[in-house]
Amino acid sequence: MNAPLAERMRPKTLDEYIGQSHLVGPDAPLRRAIDLGRIPSMILWGPPGVGKTTLANLLANEQDRKFFSLSAINSGVKDVRETIKKAENSGFFNQGSPILFIDEIHRFSKSQQDSLLAAVEKGIITLIGATTENPSFEVISALLSRCQVYVLKALDVPALQAIVDRAISLDVELRQRTIQIEEYESMLKYSSGDARRLLNVLEILLSQFDPSATVTINNELVERTLQREILQYDKSGEAHYDTISAFIKSVRGSDPDAAIYYLARMIEGGEDPMFICRRLIILATEDIGLANPNAMLMANSCMDAVHKIGLPEGRIPMAQCTVYLALSPKSNSAYKAINEALATVRQTGSLPIPMHLRNAPTKLMKELGYGDGYLYPHEQDASGATYLPASLKGKRFYHPKPNPQEDKLNRR
Q: Is the pLDDT of residue 228 over 60?
A: no
How high is the mean pLDDT of the chain?
86
Mean pLDDT of 117-138: 88
Best-predicted range by mean pLDDT among 68-72, 301-305, 350-354, 401-405?
301-305
CB 130 within 8 A of CB 22: no
Report the CATH number that the domain containing residue 260 is assigned in CATH: 1.20.272.10
User: Are residues 167 and 144 both part of a single domain?
Assistant: no
- Looking at residue 147, the DSSP 8-state letter turns out to be S
Domain holding 262, by residue range, is 238-327
Task: Tell me: do 224 and 245 sit in the same domain.
Answer: no
Q: Kindly state whether residues 68 and 147 are assigned to the same domain.
A: yes
Rounded CA separation 323/288 (Å): 13
Residues 36 and 135 grouped into a single domain:
yes
Please give the Cα distance from 325 to 77 (Å, whole number).
Answer: 33
Asked whether residue 270 is domain-assigned, the answer is yes
Q: How many CA atoms lie within 13 A of 410 on its CB side?
A: 11
- What pLDDT, on a 0 to 100 scale, did the predictor assign at position 333? 87
- The answer to the question of residue 292 being in a domain is yes
pTM: 0.55
Quick one: average pLDDT of 397-409?
80
In tens, the pLDDT along 315-327 reads 999 999 999 999 9
d(CA 229, CA 215): 18
398 pLDDT tier (thresholds 50, 70, 90)? confident
Res 288: pLDDT:
92
Are residues 206 and 99 located together in one domain of the fold? Answer: no
DSSP tag of 270 = T
Q: How far is CA 84 from CA 44, 80, 123, 140, 251, in A?
A: 20, 6, 11, 19, 43
Domains in the chain, number: 4
CATH number, position 145: 3.40.50.300
Q: From the CB of residue 324, how many other CB atoms can be counted at a distance below 10 Å? A: 20
Whether 333 is covered by a domain: the verdict is no
**Are residue 139 and residue 192 in the same domain, yes or no?**
no
CA–CA distances in Å: residue 56 to residues 53, 63, 72, 339, 369: 5, 11, 16, 44, 64
Question: What confidence tier does 44 reach under pLDDT thresholds 50, 70, 90?
Answer: very high
* Domain-embedded: residue 177: yes
- 17: three-class secondary structure by DSSP: coil
Assess whether 136 and 254 both reside in one domain: no
Amino acid 400: pLDDT: 81
Nearest residue to 187 via CA among 152, 215, 146, 220: 220
pLDDT number for residue 47: 84
Residue 222, domain CATH: 1.10.8
Domain end among 120, 151, 182: 151
Partners of 17 in beta bridges: none
Residue 114 banded pLDDT, cuts 50, 70, 90? confident
Which DSSP symbol is given to 134? -
Q: How many Å apart are CA 63 and CA 150, to the nearest integer?
A: 19
Distance separating alpha carbons of residues 326 and 254, to the nearest angstrom: 4
Q: Are residue 180 and residue 161 in the same domain, yes or no?
A: yes
pLDDT interval class at 95 (50, 70, 90): low
pLDDT band at residue 382 under the 50/70/90 scheme: confident
The answer to whether 104 and 48 have CB atoms below 8 angstroms apart is: no
pLDDT tens figures, 161-197: 999 999 999 999 999 999 999 999 988 888 878 888 8
pLDDT, one tens digit per residue, over 156-169 is: 899 999 999 999 99
275 domain residue, yes or no = yes
* Residue 31: inside a domain: yes
Number of alpha helices (DSSP H) and beta strands (DSSP E) in the chain: 20, 7
401 CB-near residues (< 8 Å, 6+ apart) = 290, 291, 330, 331, 332, 333
Domain edge (last residue) among 213, 233, 253: 233
Structure confidence at residue 165 (pLDDT): 94
Confidence band, pLDDT 50/70/90 cuts, at residue 92:
low
Handedness of CA 286, 291, 295, 300 (dihedral sign): positive
DSSP of 82-111: HHHHHHHHH--TTSPPPEEEEETGGGS-HH
Residue 348 lies in a domain: no
Task: Kindly state whether residue 168 falls inside one of the protein's structural domains.
Answer: yes
Q: Could you tell me if 216 and 270 lie in one domain? A: no
Signed CA dihedral, 212, 213, 214, 219: sign only: negative
Co-location of 40 and 140 in the same domain: yes
Q: What percent of the chain has pLDDT over 90?
A: 32
* Three-state secondary-structure class, residue 365: helix
- 166/280 same-domain check: no
- Shared domain for 139 and 93, answered yes or no, is yes
111: pLDDT strictly greater than 50: yes
Read off the pLDDT of residues 248-295 as tens digits, 9 standing for 90 and up. 999 999 999 999 999 998 887 777 888 899 999 999 999 999 999 999
Residue 309 has pLDDT above 90, yes or no: no
CB under 8 A, 24+ apart: contacts of 71-75: 71/102, 71/103, 71/104, 72/102, 72/103, 72/104, 72/105, 72/106, 72/107, 72/108, 72/112, 73/103, 73/104, 73/107, 73/270, 75/102, 75/112
Among 151, 175, 206, identify where a domain stops: 151
CA-to-CA dists, residue 138 to 115, 273, 312, angstroms: 15, 12, 17
